[in-house]
Structure 1
């Protein structure tokens, strides 16, 4: 491990308590609430990778209260105030009207204090309590009904000292039905249930990417890279967990390399210009210095705007995991320019 990596990891341990929680089971008392107090922004997310074409993936990205972080902000949706503004993306490989839209929190949302009900108008309902949840989405062109059972396998991405920002992900199993273009498809597999809460502070992030790969029917791998000004690494981590193993966090010799960008930059509704990745590689070593995973990905040209202030999509991949060949369809979030 290089001196640069040592310095990065030391800094991360100093400002975030997430690494110390690796491998520990989910505590049902973990915070899971709508905006309150100084936590003015909350995110609920469900991500389903590795679906058959043309769906490729499904995500539910709900953001309540607009953050001050530019990459996550959708200021063009604000009618009254940032706190009264919410957004919802139902991302997938097929396009339909209303995939991404804004809401007024006080007018359109119903939020139980314990998040046992999160309702966005007549469009989305997330109901239940750990470990069982139901997700219902209604759109004239796209309906979704999911039953989600969470495990106790949790990955803590960020847990800033003082409670300024928390973000975690649970490994889940799901089954359900999706209806689009007159067709109904039964789906099932591994997914994530994610939650974040943050204070109204400005963090100078310039790039963010997040990937989810289901290695098989029991094992899931997550990858995160966050950059700050001048390309300074804020976080570079890979998380592995399975139905039978709490897994671990890996950072040694992390690499994310974009090999080809889309031909033209995309212009977001907020006026930002983003050149999205079309082909890329990423890898990391295990704690003993042996390659843990190496992935070669090519996107499916299905990026959709609304992953906060950026894009979500899918990609075809080949590679190796713990020395064995792997392939499939991964999930990607991408905001900013790498």
Structure 2
């Protein structure tokens, strides 16, 4: 499985290569070859009650299972643009769907979604605006190194990259203004309609350690719950470098929320308590997280939200209340429930009781 993946996906090699050259990354609107474009901004560590901000758009809905939101399609999949803009408080207007041909305007320097969301400029200097009485903002985004790849398929079939970004501006939530100046992650993905890919489970978590370090954890499993990759990207913003780990990176869900039914008629368990970790002879990373329960549907077939955490890096301990997370589980329920039972058995073997709400 790993050998086949590495033959097709070059991201592992690229993540291990120093990025000292001038960035020459793709950033464009859908075209004849790349029918699906995804652009995202993820900002953790915001003050209460916001805790986080995300902007996610899928322009041309790919049938890639974890990002396929059938309920958002109004005309055709490739004529649909979906935007998810959310923060921690309860919202009713975080998810919007548009007809590209009738409601959107795109060129190489501009993404306009009706009269609501507007992204302009190049990824090294962007302006993101949203007009809404519920949640609006005007944010300047300066993306810079370090760079990491989540995927980079051969033959330019698809790729997904992330840059650390400096995000400054004003967020207005229900007429209350919040000035922000935070480290974020700016991301871009493109695909030539890869409906055959089998990723069915996806978890992504982002935290900042002060203004100097940023950590991204991501794991993906296929429809049979086999591990495709499990990775930690540990970024030093001041030094503009990255430590990359993709072996022996563990992820465990300790407690789950009750089963829910999504707008796509899929059943899913969402994580309440979880842990991910990595260690070698020189470094130990352990994060214990507790979801705030503020999940918002619309990131493809899944959810975004925030979490409390305790992070231990060797002997240093960091605590935070505003980590950012994404969670999508399109596996058959037997895999989701088997994982739950496995965790229960592990706890039982250690003589520690664990209860799940039904």
* TM-score past 0.5 threshold: yes
Report the counterpart of residue 124 of structure 2 in structure 1: 131
Q: Give the distance between the partners of 2:277 and 2:88, measured in 1 at CA.
A: 25
Report the counterpart of residue 284 of structure 2 in structure 1: 292
Contact map agreement 1:145 1:178 (CA 8 A) in 2: yes
Moved more, 18-27 or 251-260: 18-27
Report the counterpart of residue 302 of structure 2 in structure 1: 310
SS of the residue 1:39 aligns to: coil
Report the counterpart of residue 4 of structure 1 in structure 2: none
SS of the residue 1:19 aligns to: helix
Q: Is residue 240 of structure 1 aligned with residue 234 of structure 2?
A: yes
Q: Give the distance between the partners of 2:22 and 2:130, measured in 1 at CA.
A: 28
Tell me by how many angstroms 1:327 deviates: 1.4
Tell me by how many angstroms 1:99 deviates: 0.8
Aligned residues: 326
Report the counterpart of residue 174 of structure 1 in structure 2: 167
- Give runs of aligned pairs for residues 36-51 of structure 1, distance below 5 A: 36-51=31-46
- Give runs of aligned pairs for residues 211-230 of structure 1, distance below 5 A: 211-230=205-224
SS of the residue 2:74 aligns to: coil
Contact map agreement 2:205 2:218 (CA 8 A) in 1: yes
Moved over 3 A (4+): 25-28, 288-292
Contact map agreement 1:261 1:278 (CA 8 A) in 2: yes
**Aligned pair in 2 of structure 1 residues 218, 163: CA closer, same or farther (>3 Å)?**
same
Q: Give the distance between the partners of 1:33 and 1:292, measured in 2 at CA.
A: 39
Tell me by how many angstroms 1:242 deviates: 2.2
Moved more, 74-83 or 171-180: 74-83
SS of the residue 1:30 aligns to: coil
Report the counterpart of residue 153 of structure 2 in structure 1: 160
Q: Give the distance between the partners of 1:74 and 1:130, measured in 2 at CA.
A: 26
Contact map agreement 1:25 1:246 (CA 8 A) in 2: no
Moved more, 243-252 or 62-71: 243-252
- Aligned match for 1:267, one of 242, 261, 264: 261
Contact map agreement 1:173 1:190 (CA 8 A) in 2: yes
Report the counterpart of residue 342 of structure 2 in structure 1: none
Tell me by how many angstroms 1:149 deviates: 1.0
- Give runs of aligned pairs for residues 182-201 of structure 1, distance below 5 A: 182-201=175-194
Tell me by how many angstroms 1:322 deviates: 4.0
Under a length normalisation based on structure 2, what TM-score does the superposition of the two structures give?
0.87
Tell me by how many angstroms 1:25 deviates: 4.3
Q: Give the distance between the partners of 1:191 and 1:236, measured in 2 at CA.
A: 21
| Cα distance per residue 1:82-118 (max 9 Å; x no partner) | 1101110012101233210111011111111x2x111
- Give runs of aligned pairs for residues 203-214 of structure 1, distance below 5 A: 203-214=197-208
**Bigger Cα Rg:** 2
- Aligned match for 2:111, one of 96, 103, 118: 118
Under a length normalisation based on structure 1, what TM-score does the superposition of the two structures give?
0.92
Tell me by how many angstroms 1:77 deviates: 2.1
Q: Give the distance between the partners of 1:124 and 1:26, measured in 2 at CA.
A: 33
